[in-house]
A = this chain, B = another copy of it.
């Protein structure tokens, strides 16, 4: 198993759990859980593969991610009632999946020989679009646009860390670890301690 495959699988698993929990909030049935879990889990990587014209799309080439997503959905269907606050768990699963998916995105872009800006974008897109699709289809306000939380910024910093690390160490494993660490630290710090960048503060929020 290549690094990229392992990263794709890991991101799929964690995003699928968050998607299945979103399905539990919408009170769907078990197939609805599998649908929303798969959409969340495969969405970011699918956007990446379509944009990069990687053919076939990763989960068509190898349906293991589909199996992972559906297994995660079944697991959540039978255990979600044990959780105290599903929204908090969704947020934290999403925070864990985001860095892994960003790493999968930068890695795929590097493999196909893209330039630096495209590597950055593919990291951000792979990380962000799964959760974005989940929130839009489940009719929730996207986590990505919640004010005063680092989300795209964390993805961007992670992708940046991958590139900077690559300048100093020749090891791809180290660069991917740096990416995941930086992205997760920023996102987790934002959720736990309110770390944020200066946000635009209008006089009246919706004028």
Q: What residues make up the interface of A, taking CB atoms closer than 8 Å to B?
A: 23-36, 38, 46, 50-53, 55-57, 60, 63, 66-67, 77, 80-81, 84-87, 114-115, 117-118, 121, 124, 128, 132, 136-139, 141-142, 144-145, 147-148, 150-153, 156, 196-203, 205-207
One complex includes copies of this chain to the number of 3
| Residue of B51, B60, B201 touching A60 (CB-CB under 8 A) | B51
Q: Residues of B contacting A152 with CB < 8 Å?
A: 28, 31-32, 34-35
Instruction: For the A-B complex with A29-B150, A136-B137 known, give 7 more contacts whose Cβ atoms are closer than 8 Å.
Output: A27-B147, A28-B199, A28-B200, A30-B198, A46-B51, A81-B203, A136-B136
Q: Residues of B contacting A67 with CB < 8 Å?
A: 117
Q: Residues of B contacting A85 with CB < 8 Å?
A: 207
